[in-house]
Structure 1
Amino acid sequence: EKFRRRVCCFRSRPVQAQLISRQQMTMMGEEGSRGAPIMMQSEAVRLVEDLKPIKLEEVGTKQWTKYHQTLERLNMQAQLSVMHQSDEFVVEALIDHEKIDVLIHDLIVTEAWKANIMPKVVEELASTHYVKLYLIAYHESIVVSLLEKAFYTPTAVAAGGELLVELADYCYRKTVKLVSDADREEGDLPPPKTAQEEAAMSEMERLEDQERQISFGSACSAVTLVRFLSDNAKLLPLGVLTRMLSDHDILQTLVPLLDRPPWRRVKGGGAQVFSDGRWADQPAEEARRLTKMDAQVWLALNNLLLAPECRAKYEWNEHRKGGVMRLSKHFNEILVDQLPVLSDLRRFVESLALHAPPAPTEGRGLVIEQLPELWTGLMKSDWNKEAKAFTERIKGTTAEDEMEEMRGLASMYDAIDLEQFMEDPKCVVCGKPAEKRCSRCKLDWYCGRKCQVKAWKKHQPLCDALCDSLKKQEEMGVAPGQAGKG
Structure 2
Amino acid sequence: LYHEATVVNLLETMMFYKETCEVANDSVLDLVDYCYRKLCFLVAKGNDEEDEDFLQDSGDVTKKMLSTMEELEVQDGRLQFEISIKALSLLRYITDHFDSVSLSVMTRILNTHDIPILLVQLVESPPWTRKKNGQIYKFIEGKWQEVSFEDSLKLTKTEGQVWLALFHLLMERECQEKYDLNNYRKNTIIKLRSYLTEILLDQMPVLGELQRYLEHLSIMEPHPPKKDFILEQVPEIREKLLSKYDGKWTEAEVRAQAQRWASTYNFDVLEELISEPPKCSVCGQPASKRCSRCQNEWYCRRECQVGHWKKHKNACDLLYNAMEKIKNKGEQL
Mapped to 2, the partners of 1:239 and 1:386 lie a distance apart of 34
8 Å contact from structure 1 (residues 198, 462) kept in 2: no
**Where does residue 373 of structure 1 map in the other structure?**
236
Q: TM-score, normalised by structure 1?
A: 0.55
Mapped to 2, the partners of 1:283 and 1:445 lie a distance apart of 32
1:266 partner SS: strand
2:157 pairs with 286, 292, 300, which one?
292
Mapped to 2, the partners of 1:287 and 1:154 lie a distance apart of 32
Q: Does 1:250 align with 2:118?
A: no
CA-CA distance at 1:238 after TM superposition? 2.9
CA-CA distance at 1:335 after TM superposition? 0.3
**Where does residue 275 of structure 1 map in the other structure?**
140
Amino acid at match of 1:240: V
2:145 partner SS: strand
Mapped to 1, the partners of 2:178 and 2:162 lie a distance apart of 20
CA-CA distance at 1:402 after TM superposition? 6.5
Mapped to 2, the partners of 1:254 and 1:444 lie a distance apart of 42
CA-CA distance at 1:428 after TM superposition? 9.0
Q: TM-score, normalised by structure 2?
A: 0.78
Q: Does 1:341 align with 2:206?
A: yes
8 Å contact from structure 1 (residues 196, 461) kept in 2: no
CA-CA distance at 1:365 after TM superposition? 3.6
**Where does residue 158 of structure 1 map in the other structure?**
22
Amino acid at match of 1:302: F
Mapped to 2, the partners of 1:311 and 1:270 lie a distance apart of 40
1:340 partner SS: coil
Amino acid at match of 2:205: P
**Where does residue 33 of structure 1 map in the other structure?**
none
Q: How does 1:175-186 map to 2 (within 5 A)?
A: 175-182=39-46, 185-186=48-49
Amino acid at match of 1:259: E
8 Å contact from structure 1 (residues 242, 313) kept in 2: yes
**Where does residue 99 of structure 2 map in the other structure?**
234
Q: How does 1:130-209 map to 2 (within 5 A)?
A: 137-182=1-46, 185-186=48-49, 189=52, 198=63, 200-209=65-74
CA-CA distance at 1:443 after TM superposition? 3.5
2:175 pairs with 305, 310, 330, which one?
310
Mapped to 1, the partners of 2:143 and 2:253 lie a distance apart of 32
CA shift digits 1:262-294 (9 cap, x unpaired): 111123432221233222222333121112211
Amino acid at match of 1:301: L
Mapped to 2, the partners of 1:339 and 1:227 lie a distance apart of 16
CA-CA distance at 1:237 after TM superposition? 1.6
Amino acid at match of 1:170: Y
Q: Does 1:210 align with 2:75?
A: yes
CA-CA distance at 1:199 after TM superposition? 5.7
Q: Does 1:221 align with 2:86?
A: yes
Mapped to 2, the partners of 1:196 and 1:322 lie a distance apart of 43
Amino acid at match of 1:364: K
8 Å contact from structure 1 (residues 145, 221) kept in 2: yes
CA-CA distance at 1:327 after TM superposition? 0.3
Change (3 A) 1:200 1:186: closer
1:172 partner SS: helix
CA shift digits 1:115-150 (9 cap, x unpaired): xxxxxxxxxxxxxxxxxxxxxx21111111110011
CA-CA distance at 1:259 after TM superposition? 0.4
1:312 partner SS: helix
Change (3 A) 1:247 1:439: closer
**Where does residue 388 of structure 1 map in the other structure?**
251
**Where does residue 36 of structure 1 map in the other structure?**
none
Change (3 A) 1:173 1:289: same
Mapped to 2, the partners of 1:430 and 1:331 lie a distance apart of 45
Mapped to 2, the partners of 1:445 and 1:216 lie a distance apart of 29
Change (3 A) 1:461 1:237: farther
1:265 pairs with 130, 138, 150, which one?
130
Structure 2: runs of 5 or more not aligned: 292-296, 324-333
Change (3 A) 1:335 1:384: same
Change (3 A) 1:344 1:424: same
CA shift digits 1:226-266 (9 cap, x unpaired): 11011111111231101111111111111000100011112
Change (3 A) 1:308 1:413: same
Mapped to 2, the partners of 1:163 and 1:389 lie a distance apart of 33
- The percentage of aligned residue pairs carrying the same residue is 32
Amino acid at match of 2:69: M
Change (3 A) 1:426 1:214: closer
Q: How many residues align?
A: 317
Change (3 A) 1:393 1:468: closer
Change (3 A) 1:258 1:370: same
Mapped to 1, the partners of 2:283 and 2:262 lie a distance apart of 40
Answer with 223-232 or 366-375: which moved more: 366-375
**Where does residue 294 of structure 2 map in the other structure?**
none
Amino acid at match of 1:366: F
